[in-house]
Chains A and B, each alone.
Chain A
Amino acid sequence: MGLIEDIKKNKASYLMIAPYMLLFTIFTLIPVISSIFLSFTNYNMLQPPKWVGWANYIRLFLADKIFIKVLRNTFIFAFLTGPLSYFMSFILAWFISEFNPKIRAILTLIFYSPSLAGNVFFIWAFIFSGDAYGLINGWLMRLGILKEPINWLQDPNYVLWVIIIVQLWLSLGAGFLAFVAGFQNLDKELFEAGAIDGIKNRFQELFYITIPQMAPQLMFGAVMQIGASFGVSTVVIALGGLPTRQYSADTVVTYLIDYGTVRFEMGYASAIAVVLFIAMLLTNKVIAAILKRYSTE
């Protein structure tokens, strides 16, 4: 009975928290829980769900060859484009922070504009167009490297790499902004102290003073980046279609969209979602551990 009394005592606090908790429960908690529940059923939006136990997961890991392929693509996005764009954001932000405020603002806008402008990446559909009028094909044929146009967005050998390039171009997002901000409020005194203690060059400065100070921004950027690279989907669908040729560039998310909104196999789609969720959770944990260790040393 102690609990109820406690609640009564802290009525005001609970009231304060109520609006947020209500929204959080309705819009986040319930969907997640129900998705986990549905992943153990064969729900297909028409008939009532039937409990099938591990069947969806068995099918996913043991019978679905395409899922393995899709997983491979997702890993490539997560562990190749993710870190790459993370470092790119950081280095660009570092460069930008050297300029005076006016130029800095302009440069920030320029680099941030791709992710600001929404579907502007359709320009890449023209650049990598599969006929002889596509920009890349046209140039390569003019130089005589190609005899006939390469169908960049349909050919399974190329489409993944094209999308990786576009994704890199797009990925200077919130993390980048956070880095730019982070570079602005570094403690100047520390740099002076460092200079007295024998910091020799800019790289040492970056390594021993700047990065440890920027730990929170780095953490935020990493989490955003992982989320973004695991969730690459709009670019893939826009450029490669749904599904892409031979699933050559499909990611787990597009696969999920395929099963959820095209085939209506909600149970299976939920299982995919749960696996994706766990993978993201684990990756975030690992990243957090690495950054924490680094920033407290």
Chain B
Amino acid sequence: MRIKKVKRIIAFVLLSLLIVTVPGYSFANMIEVPYYQYNYDIYNWDIPSAAGYYPYEVLSGSDLGVGNFPSPRDMFVDSNDNIYILDAGNNRIVKLNKDFKFIGEINKFTQNGKVFKFSDPSGICVDKNGVIYVADKGAKCVYVINQNGQLLRKITKPKSDLVAANKDFVPLKVAVDNAGVVYVLSLGSYEGAFMFDSQNNFLGFFGSNKVVVTLQLLIDRIWKKILSKQQSASMVRYLPTESTSIDIGDDGFIYTCSNYASVSVGELKKLNFLGKNILWYKKKDQTRDFGDLPKYYGKRLEDSYFVDINVTKDGFINALDYERGRVFQYDQNANLLFIMGGKADQAGTFREPAAVESIGNTILVLDQQKATITVFKETKFGELVHRATVLYNDGMYDEARKLWEQVNKMDSNFALAHVGLGKALLRMNKYSEALQHFRLANDKEGYSEAKEVLRNDFLQRNFGVIATALVLAIIVIYILWRRLKKQKSVDEEYTRKISKEKYPLYVMLHPFKGYEELKDEKKGSVLYATIIVLLFFVVSILHRQYTGFIFNPYRQDRINVISIFSATVVMFFFWVLSNWSVSTLTEGEGTFQEIWIFSAYALLPYIICRLLYVILSNVLIMEEGMFLAFINIISLIWLVIGMLCAIKAVHQFSFGKTVATMVASLIGIAVILFIMILVFTLFAQLFGFIQSIYNELILRM
């Protein structure tokens, strides 16, 4: 006991010394956050991570000295970093400066002596001249107000052929770009945002989401062609989802967030002036699943539901997830940087988050139910990542490298740091180090790039040697082959004395007649067949563990030999069993033992191709992947042909009967598995029943 205590103390002292002495490691990183601080790793698993943000303070209305604001709806930070809070409970706008000091409020506004009040305001924004735009659901218009509380104009429902006459104009969110164009998101406006110029002229719609094309949709389309107008009018209409919020970045691009019911990818968008999404992830025109990955809790599917989006001055995108009360921060390449918040009552967590804004890299989150503003500040780690990301996305890899190194020291699970380091090292021609970093970041493209240089460098230095060796090898093989050919006497050609050991190879190369001969000569060997099946198992393990990184989709640290065993050897056994059962019904000649031998021999080409695949995959780079695909295709064709011939020969079936038997065998495997699962669950229930009776007896006695 005591020794343990001493150990603990020593450990603590050492650790504190370490923390103090490691450069670039401040106590900001030790900040405890009241929620699970995690990030998604390269395999999309959630792992604990260093905090990029910490809740700095929580401000309620009384803290700010403005009286409390029940159910605030929206918040906006203008270009001078003044904060506007839309206090819907009191129907007013509260203005704060960047130090959260109260500067003023607007609760009524006038036009030509007439006094107006907000009725149900839900969105606010301020342009660069300080003109305030408020989307009012109750008044069904957007009020444009100057700082002195004078109403400049009202934006109401536009009269246009584009706008359906029977639909209400219910503004929810509003945004203004540098040219003074006003974008209004209205309730149920699936056509996109309404665009108005500064004279209230309706310009059209902008940035509608696309309908996700599903099979159901195509089928319905065809039906609509057939049905009458009345019938088709009563069918389900496929409409794109509406955006839930809109923000305009300093770069002038428009950012929106929306929530898809069925597919949960591409919720955040960065729209160019054509209304096309250009927030790409890894590849052009490719998007990602933003927010938390969908999870099932029993039957209930939980996925992120974004209510607000905000872009910082440095171009980081903050998205507010209402479902779990979290803020997700992405960079301009849709890489996830940080996750903060949660659903709880502590500081830094939320009940009903409504809006997110940023001052510099500080994030403000407005909670509708708690009626508070939570201020998240960057930690040292967060600041490093931000600086490095900005440099990296501008292509300054060398400058970013030092920062990435520090980031890596603090949290070595931060994949972006490894990508950044890898790219920088590539530029510095340090390919083998780059290789390691790309591997840690699971960046197969980068890895392939570095590997190509290393490999080709090696090949170029030894080209003469390799070429000569190849030529020599070809000559030697050719001579040997000729010799072998000569040794085969005519005599042997006709009597065909093929030994037991040679048969597996012989049937591999001559499937059509080989199996027939094997059946006649009875030269099959159970031992060799079993060895081949075990080889199949071993090669499957090799394929999972030793395929080159570029072509390997598996995680080497999570291998389960038993599952591989059951997927290979056990499945093979089931195949033989099932085929034997089916063939006894269809008068096949093969015994169980024979089927085992023949099927195993048919596996051999597949095994050899797999081995070749593993070896080649460690040499080839991404662009040469098609060679591996070719090998795979060839191995599959070979396997199918071999299996067909083997089953055909073993039972002496016709071709059609063989195919039918094989299909029946595959169905048989499914039946076997089903029965096994059934028996297993029944026994589990029985066992549970006996156990509960036993418990009853023991505890009641």
**Would you give the 0/1 interface string for B205-223, flagging 1 where the beta carbon is closer than 8 Å to chain A?**
0000000010000100100
Of the four ranges (under 10, 10 to 19, 20 to 34, 35 or more), the interface on chain B belongs to 10 to 19
Task: Tell me whether A297 and B512 are in contact (CB under 8 A).
Answer: yes
Chain A nearest CB: distance from B226 CB in Å? 13
Given known A58-B463, A69-B623, A75-B630, contact A203–B512 (CB-CB < 8 A): no
A65 CB-CB contact with B under 8 Å:
yes
Chain A nearest CB: distance from B331 CB in Å? 27
Known contacts A65-B623, A145-B213; 15 additional CB pairs below 8 A are A54-B464, A58-B460, A62-B463, A63-B456, A68-B623, A68-B624, A69-B623, A75-B626, A143-B221, A144-B221, A145-B218, A200-B654, A204-B655, A293-B510, A297-B513
Say which residue of B218, B456, B654, B655 sits within 8 Å of A62 (CB atoms). B456
Task: Tell me whether A54 and B630 are in contact (CB under 8 A).
Answer: no
Q: Which residues of B contact A204 (CB under 8 A)?
A: 655
Task: Tell me whether A62 and B623 are in contact (CB under 8 A).
Answer: no
Chain B nearest CB: distance from A239 CB in Å? 22
Chain B nearest CB: distance from A86 CB in Å? 15
Find the B residue at minimum CB distance from A72: B626
Question: CB within 8 Å of B: which of A256-297?
Answer: 293, 297
Q: Which residues of A contact B293 (CB under 8 A)?
A: none
A79 CB-CB contact with B under 8 Å:
yes
User: In whole angstroms, how far apart are the Cα atoms of A79 and B626 in the complex?
Assistant: 12
Find the B residue at minimum CB distance from A293: B510
Given known A68-B624, A143-B221, A145-B218, contact A62–B513 (CB-CB < 8 A): no
Question: CB within 8 Å of A: which of B454-491?
Answer: 456, 459-460, 463-464, 467
Chain B nearest CB: distance from A167 CB in Å? 18
Chain B nearest CB: distance from A73 CB in Å? 9
**Would you give the 0/1 interface string for A63-94, flagging 1 where the beta carbon is closer than 8 Å to chain B?**
10100110010011001000000000000000
Task: Tell me whether A62 and B460 are in contact (CB under 8 A).
Answer: yes
Question: CB within 8 Å of B: which of A196-241?
Answer: 200, 203-204
Task: Tell me whether A203 and B218 are in contact (CB under 8 A).
Answer: no
User: In whole angstroms, how far apart are the Cα atoms of A68 and B452 in the complex?
Assistant: 13
User: In whole angstroms, how far apart are the Cα atoms of A243 and B459 in the complex?
Assistant: 29
Find the A residue at minimum CB distance from B655: A203
Chain A nearest CB: distance from B450 CB in Å? 15
Find the A residue at minimum CB distance from B459: A62
User: In whole angstroms, how far apart are the Cα atoms of A65 and B453 in the complex?
Assistant: 12
User: In whole angstroms, how far apart are the Cα atoms of A144 and B630 in the complex?
Assistant: 36
Chain B nearest CB: distance from A234 CB in Å? 24
Find the B residue at minimum CB distance from A207: B655
Given known A62-B456, A143-B221, A145-B218, contact A79–B654 (CB-CB < 8 A): no
Task: Tell me whether B630 and A79 are in contact (CB under 8 A).
Answer: yes
Instruction: Sample 10 A-B pairs with CB under 8 A, ordered by A number.
Output: A54-B467, A58-B460, A62-B459, A62-B463, A63-B456, A65-B623, A68-B624, A200-B654, A204-B655, A297-B513
Q: Which residues of A contact B510 (CB under 8 A)?
A: 293
Chain A nearest CB: distance from B484 CB in Å? 15
Find the B residue at minimum CB distance from A147: B210
User: In whole angstroms, how far apart are the Cα atoms of A72 and B624 in the complex?
Assistant: 8
User: In whole angstroms, how far apart are the Cα atoms of A68 and B213 in the complex?
Assistant: 35
Q: Which residues of B contact A143 (CB under 8 A)?
A: 221
User: In whole angstroms, how far apart are the Cα atoms of A76 and B510 in the complex?
Assistant: 26
Chain B nearest CB: distance from A229 CB in Å? 15
Q: Which residues of A contact B467 (CB under 8 A)?
A: 54
Find the B residue at minimum CB distance from A144: B221
User: In whole angstroms, how far apart are the Cα atoms of A35 and B510 in the complex?
Assistant: 39
Question: CB within 8 Å of A: which of B609-639?
Answer: 623-624, 626, 630
**Would you give the 0/1 interface string for A137-155, flagging 1 where the beta carbon is closer than 8 Å to chain B?**
0000001110000000000
Task: Tell me whether A54 and B221 are in contact (CB under 8 A).
Answer: no
Chain A contacts to B: CB under 8 angstroms: 54, 58, 62-63, 65, 68-69, 72, 75-76, 79, 143-145, 200, 203-204, 293, 297
Given known A75-B626, A143-B221, contact A54–B463 (CB-CB < 8 A): yes
Q: Which residues of B contact A68 (CB under 8 A)?
A: 623-624
Q: Which residues of B contact A203 (CB under 8 A)?
A: 655
User: In whole angstroms, how far apart are the Cα atoms of A69 and B654 in the complex?
Assistant: 44
User: In whole angstroms, how far apart are the Cα atoms of A101 and B99 in the complex?
Assistant: 96
Closest 9 CB pairs of A and B: A62-B456, A72-B626, A68-B623, A144-B221, A62-B459, A58-B463, A68-B624, A62-B460, A297-B513
Q: Which residues of B contact A145 (CB under 8 A)?
A: 213, 218
Chain A nearest CB: distance from B149 CB in Å? 46
Chain B nearest CB: distance from A89 CB in Å? 20
Chain B nearest CB: distance from A134 CB in Å? 21
Q: Which residues of B contact A200 (CB under 8 A)?
A: 654
Find the A residue at minimum CB distance from B625: A72
User: In whole angstroms, how far apart are the Cα atoms of A72 and B655 in the complex?
Assistant: 35
Q: Which residues of A contact B630 (CB under 8 A)?
A: 75, 79
Chain A nearest CB: distance from B215 CB in Å? 12
User: In whole angstroms, how far apart are the Cα atoms of A141 and B329 in the complex?
Assistant: 39
Q: Which residues of A contact B213 (CB under 8 A)?
A: 145
User: In whole angstroms, how far apart are the Cα atoms of A88 and B510 in the complex?
Assistant: 25
Q: Which residues of B contact A79 (CB under 8 A)?
A: 630
User: In whole angstroms, how far apart are the Cα atoms of A79 and B464 in the complex?
Assistant: 31
User: In whole angstroms, how far apart are the Cα atoms of A58 and B213 in the complex?
Assistant: 48
User: In whole angstroms, how far apart are the Cα atoms of A297 and B459 in the complex?
Assistant: 44
Chain B nearest CB: distance from A103 CB in Å? 30
User: In whole angstroms, how far apart are the Cα atoms of A232 and B373 in the complex?
Assistant: 67
Q: Which residues of B contact A75 (CB under 8 A)?
A: 626, 630
Question: CB within 8 Å of A: which of B483-511?
Answer: 510
Find the A residue at minimum CB distance from B623: A68
Q: Which residues of A contact B459 (CB under 8 A)?
A: 62
Q: Which residues of B contact A76 (CB under 8 A)?
A: 626
Q: Which residues of A contact B654 (CB under 8 A)?
A: 200
**Would you give the 0/1 interface string for B77-102, flagging 1 where the beta carbon is closer than 8 Å to chain A?**
00000000000000000000000000
User: In whole angstroms, how far apart are the Cα atoms of A168 and B510 in the complex?
Assistant: 30
Chain B nearest CB: distance from A242 CB in Å? 22
User: In whole angstroms, how far apart are the Cα atoms of A62 and B221 in the complex?
Assistant: 51
Chain A nearest CB: distance from B185 CB in Å? 23
Chain A nearest CB: distance from B396 CB in Å? 26
Q: Which residues of A contact B463 (CB under 8 A)?
A: 54, 58, 62
Chain B nearest CB: distance from A258 CB in Å? 19
User: In whole angstroms, how far apart are the Cα atoms of A79 and B655 in the complex?
Assistant: 26
Find the B residue at minimum CB distance from A55: B463
User: In whole angstroms, how far apart are the Cα atoms of A62 and B466 in the complex?
Assistant: 13
**Would you give the 0/1 interface string for B110-137, flagging 1 where the beta carbon is closer than 8 Å to chain A?**
0000000000000000000000000000
User: In whole angstroms, how far apart are the Cα atoms of A293 and B512 in the complex?
Assistant: 11
- Choose among A63, A72, A79, A203 the residue with the greatest number of B CB atoms under 10 Å from its CB: A72
Q: Which residues of B contact A65 (CB under 8 A)?
A: 623
User: In whole angstroms, how far apart are the Cα atoms of A58 and B457 in the complex?
Assistant: 11
Chain B nearest CB: distance from A290 CB in Å? 11
Find the B residue at minimum CB distance from A68: B623
Find the B residue at minimum CB distance from A54: B463
User: In whole angstroms, how far apart are the Cα atoms of A65 and B626 in the complex?
Assistant: 14
Q: Which residues of B contact A297 (CB under 8 A)?
A: 512-513
**Would you give the 0/1 interface string for B21-42, flagging 1 where the beta carbon is closer than 8 Å to chain A?**
0000000000000000000000
User: In whole angstroms, how far apart are the Cα atoms of A144 and B274 in the complex?
Assistant: 22
Chain A nearest CB: distance from B636 CB in Å? 14
Find the A residue at minimum CB distance from B457: A62
User: In whole angstroms, how far apart are the Cα atoms of A204 and B623 in the complex?
Assistant: 43
Chain A nearest CB: distance from B180 CB in Å? 31
Q: Which residues of B contact A63 (CB under 8 A)?
A: 456
Chain B nearest CB: distance from A151 CB in Å? 14
Q: Which residues of A contact B513 (CB under 8 A)?
A: 297
User: In whole angstroms, how far apart are the Cα atoms of A44 and B510 in the complex?
Assistant: 49
User: In whole angstroms, how far apart are the Cα atoms of A65 and B459 in the complex?
Assistant: 15
Find the A residue at minimum CB distance from B621: A68
User: In whole angstroms, how far apart are the Cα atoms of A200 and B653 in the complex?
Assistant: 13
User: In whole angstroms, how far apart are the Cα atoms of A69 and B624 in the complex?
Assistant: 8
Find the B residue at minimum CB distance from A76: B626
Find the B residue at minimum CB distance from A63: B456
Chain A nearest CB: distance from B186 CB in Å? 24
Chain A nearest CB: distance from B257 CB in Å? 23
Q: Which residues of B contact A144 (CB under 8 A)?
A: 221
